Amino acid sequence: MFQQDALTQGLSVYRVGGAVRDALLGWPVVDYDWVVVGATPDDMRQRGFKPVGRDFPVFLHPHTSEEYALARTERKSGHGYGGFEVYASPDVTLEEDLSRRDLTINAIAQGPEGELTDPFHGQQDIRQRLLRHVSPAFSEDPLRVLRTARFLARYAHLGFTIAPDTHALMRHVSGSGELGHLAAERVWVETEKALGEPNPERYFTTLNECQALATWWPELDDDDTLAAALDALASAPETSSPALAHWRYALLVSVLSDEQRDALAGRLRLPNAVAQLARHTALTTALLDAPLNDERVLHWLERLDGWRKPAQVAAQLQLVGRLAPEYQALLEAAWQAAQAVSPQALLGEGYRGAALGDALRQYRQRAVAGALGERASH
């Protein structure tokens, strides 16, 4: 049940999508989306709702900023997830609006008295723990392949699986070439969300099973490489900064070569911070793959730009605590010793220019060697 406020009184408003689904699952509800049946854009504007776009029938509530969409239907008219003609009119019914949705569990609406409209048996699929498409129109939107894989990453631990006929449609979309028409930013958004879910590995294994990796993640489109990447992903530190999803991505691609990692980052148009975290994580995993010595540790600190950006070293030390906890204190001591070398003191001794840079590196390497030797002797 929900209360309508002064702005929605007199409108036929229904709670839809994830809020209804997650409430039925007992999953935390974060966002509320609404559908309005029988209204026009002018009706919404006159009540103070703010249009999201000029030609798109979605409006923001002026007080809550929640989305209120006019009931609409969609018809495929081009490639990708944006290739649709939208028809929004007061004569579009609630059932017609629900029919355009991807999965049955997302095609349930709730009225103000708590009554559920469920024309595609989403409640039954929730009980049976099935991710099932609403209609064959599922295949018209390639983004739904990624979304379905993401929902499995979220709900697999609750026993959900993908219905066989839905899986077949996902393979069909993968083979059609439509995935290649998606915007890189949308692919990353879905992937980033999946990486934050309880079972992120299921996102990638699902895409692998329906031959969808080759389009956007060809570097992972190999069973051995994918297995190694997913094994690495499981070691991500559970921190808020960097975010868990970003750690997981960085570890996922740590098994790739530098060239492969950079190619994937460019293809997905990753945010700079995520691409950089991936590069730094690869440096750390490489450091831990061989015995530590002062030259290798100093090179690691230099590549992390530790003198100017100490937070980057601090983040990687968190990762060391996950991957090789026996080395965390040792590397922290080496880092502290190197930081203690004072450029000002060397300037006072008369070093300038290139000579100053050489001296700084020499003294820092000695400090690192001392810290490594002292710790090793304890």
* Location of structure tokens 């059609």: 176
d(CA 368, CA 219): 36
What is the sign of the dihedral through the CA atoms of 235, 241, 243 and 246? negative
Residue 254 exposed, middle or buried by CB count within 10 Å (0-12, 13-18, 19+): buried
Q: What would the mean pLDDT of 39-63 be, rounded to a whole number?
A: 91
| Residue range 190-222, pLDDT digits in tens | 999 999 999 999 999 999 999 999 999 999 999
The angle subtended at Cα 258 by Cα 255 and Cα 260, nearest 5°, is 75
pLDDT at residue number 36: 97
pLDDT at residue number 184: 97
Look at residues 270, 285, 272 and name the one whose alpha carbon lies nearest to residue 316: 285
pLDDT at residue number 82: 55
Q: What would the mean pLDDT of 1-27 be, rounded to a whole number?
A: 92
Residue 141, token pair as written in the block: 């939107």
| Residue range 55-114, pLDDT digits in tens | 789 999 999 999 999 999 877 655 555 556 788 899 999 999 999 999 999 999 999 999
CATH of domain 129-216: 1.10.110.30
d(CA 10, CA 319): 55
| Residue range 124-137, pLDDT digits in tens | 999 999 999 999 99
| Residue range 150-186, pLDDT digits in tens | 999 999 999 999 999 999 999 999 999 999 999 999 9
Q: What is the pTM of this model?
A: 0.91
Query: Which overall architecture, per CATH, does domain 1-120 show?
Result: 2-Layer Sandwich (3.30)
pLDDT at residue number 84: 61
Higher pLDDT, 346 or 263: 263
Q: What mean pLDDT is reported for the chain?
A: 93
| Residue range 304-328, pLDDT digits in tens | 999 999 999 999 999 999 999 999 9
pLDDT at residue number 377: 47
pLDDT at residue number 346: 86
Higher pLDDT, 36 or 5: 36
Per-position DSSP letters for 171-229, written without gaps between them: HHHHHHTGGGGS-HHHHHHHHHHHHTSS-HHHHHHHHHHTT-HHHH-GGG-SHHHHHHH
| Residue range 218-269, pLDDT digits in tens | 999 999 999 999 999 999 999 889 999 999 999 999 999 999 999 999 999 9
pLDDT at residue number 160: 98
Spell out the domain ranges in the chain.
1-120, 129-216, 236-324, 337-378
DSSP code for 251 = H
pLDDT at residue number 48: 95
**Does the pLDDT at position 7 exceed 50?**
yes
